[in-house]
Amino acid sequence: MEFDFVLKDLVVPISLMIIFVLYKFSNTVKYFIKLIIFNVSFVVLPFFLIPYFLIRPRNVNNLLTIANIAKHVTKVLGIKWILRGEEHLSKNKSFIIVANHQSFLDVLGITYIWNVIKLLTAVSKKESIFIFPAMYLAGLVFINRNSFQGRDELNKAMKMLKKDNVKLLIFPEGTRRNSNRIHEFKKGAFYTAIHNQVPIVPLVFCSYLHFMDHEKKIFGEGKMIINALPEISTTGVKVKDIDDFMERIRQQMIKVYEETSAEVAESSNLN
C-alpha cells in the first residue's frame, strides 16, 4: 500500500524528467512542445483577458496589452529578435505596414516590436472570428478577404484608424509559406493605401530556415532580423499604376530578405 503511494508521488516528477530528456535530445519532441507553448500563449491567453477587453471593447490598446504579455514567449522559444529601421515604425501617424508572411512566428515577432509601433492593429479573415472572438474585442480587424466586400470593409476600417493615427498591419502574400521566398502580393493593402492616401512601410522578416523546418519537425534556437524600410508615399499613385507600384515594393523587400537571410545563415554557421 505504501509502495503504491510512493509510485503515485513519483509519476509527475518522472514524467517531467522524461519530457525534459526527450526535449533535449529529440528534435521532434522539442518541435511539438514549442508549438504547444506558442498556441497556449496566443490562443488561450486572450480568452483570460476578455473581462479586461470588455472595459474598453475594440480599443487597439488591448492588442498592445496582449503583445506585452505574449512577447516573453520569445525567451522560452529561444528566439532573439533584432529590429532595424525602428525610426520608420515609431512615427505618430497612420500608415499601412506590409510584411512578408512565412510562419506563425511572424506574429511573435510583431509582439516584440509592438511597443515601438504602439497604436497598431492587423487584418484577419472573417471566418477566424469564431476561433478568436477575444481578438475581435481586442481590436483586430476582420474582413472577408475573398470579395469586393472585403475591400470595402478594409477601406472603412482604414478611414476610422486614420483618425486616431493607428497603423494597420497586412500580410499581402495572404497564406503563410515558409518556402524561403517572398511570393506574389495580393492587391488589397495597396488599394487601401491609395484610396486612403496613407503611406506604406514595408516590413521584412528574414528566413527562419536556419533554425526551423516544419517538414523535418525542427524548431531550434536562432536569431531573427526584422527590417523596417522607409515609408513609401501613395501621393500621386493611381489605381491603374497599382501593379507596378506593388511589384516595386515587393522587389525592395526581396532584396532585403535575401541579404538579411544570408546574414543570419552565416552567423548561425559560425556559431
- CATH number reported for the structural domain that contains residue 224 in this entry: 3.40.1130
More confident residue, 245 or 148: 245
- From CA 38, how far away is CA 79, in angstroms rounded? 12
Instruction: Provide φ and ψ at 9, rounded to 5°.
Output: -65, -25
Contact (CB, 8 A) for 144 and 153? yes
**pTM (2 decimals)?**
0.92
- From CA 198, how far away is CA 214, in angstroms rounded? 36
- From CA 257, how far away is CA 116, in angstroms rounded? 21
Amino acid letter at 92?
N
User: Mean of the pLDDT values across residues 242-269?
Assistant: 94
In the prediction, which pLDDT does 33 show? 93
Strand boundaries in the chain, DSSP class E: 79-84, 96-99, 120-125, 141-143, 167-170, 200-205, 212-213, 218-219, 222-228
The whole domain housing 145 covers 2-270
Q: 116: burial class by Cβ within 10 Å (0-12, 13-18, 19+)?
A: middle
In the prediction, which pLDDT does 19 show? 67
* Residue pLDDT, tens place only, 106-151: 999 999 999 999 999 999 888 888 778 899 999 999 998 766 778 8
Count: domains in the chain: 1
Most confident by average pLDDT, 13-22, 69-78, 145-154 = 69-78
Residue 1 pLDDT level (bands cut at 50, 70, 90):
very low
pLDDT over 80 (residue 8): no
User: Mean of the pLDDT values across residues 217-224?
Assistant: 94
